[in-house]
């Protein structure tokens, strides 16, 4: 219940209210399901969105990394790719370009050549390389 109301507050950009509810949901799910559950991953994913909305990108990144760890441990590849790309986007925002490149290369290695997510990953790779001042590599991902 807390997580659903937290999602609703997030959608109307009431991030402080959403954060309180999402944290309560996380506490509850940790007690019921323990660490590493899908419920924990869902709550942490919501918290990462909330922290991004609050422009607390470091905390958003922390939550994304925890979500990624849970999904990898549970071998949920399709969701892991999306989280990898989202994590890289936050890393780019924080100026952690090398980390973003590593995240994106990991995501690309998990995707089929015809995956629509490849476009998003390659655009972010171009942004990361541009952030490092490596314009030739950035351009190679724009073609």
Averaged confidence pLDDT in the chain: 88
Q: Report the C-alpha gap between 53 and 108 in whole angstroms.
A: 26
Dist. CA 3–CA 20, nearest whole Å: 10
Q: Is the pLDDT of residue 84 over 60?
A: yes
pLDDT at res. 97: 96
The CATH number of 76-143, from 1.20.1440.230, 3.40.630.30, 3.40.50.300, 1.25.40.10, is: 1.25.40.10
Across 66-70, average pLDDT = 93
For the stretch 4-50, pLDDT in tens is 655 655 566 788 888 988 999 999 999 999 999 999 999 999 999 99
pLDDT of the residue at 81:
85
Select 1-75's CATH number: 1.25.40, 1.10.3470, 1.10.287, 1.10.10: 1.25.40
Residue 103: how many CA atoms within 13 Å on its side-chain side? 29
Question: Residue 9 has what pLDDT?
Answer: 58
For range 88-95, the mean pLDDT: 94
- Is this structure's pTM higher than 0.75? yes
Predicted pLDDT at 136: 93
């Amino acid at each position: 219940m807390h997580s659903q109301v937290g999602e609703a507050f997030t959608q109307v950009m009431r991030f402080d209210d959403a954060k309180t509810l999402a944290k309560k949901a996380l506490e509850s799910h940790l007690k019921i399901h323990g660490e590493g559950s899908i419920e924990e991953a869902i709550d942490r994913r919501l918290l990462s969105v909330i922290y991004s909305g609050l422009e607390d990108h470091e905390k958003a990144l922390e939550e994304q990394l925890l979500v990624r760890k849970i999904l990898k441990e549970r071998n949920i590849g399709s969701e892991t790719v999306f989280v990898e790309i989202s994590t890289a986007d936050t890393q780019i925002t924080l100026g952690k370009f090398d980390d973003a490149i590593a995240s994106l290369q990991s995501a690309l290695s998990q995707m089929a050549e015809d995956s629509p997510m490849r476009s998003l990953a390659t655009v972010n790779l171009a942004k990361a390389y541009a952030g490092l001042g490596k314009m030739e590599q950035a351009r190679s991902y724009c073609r």
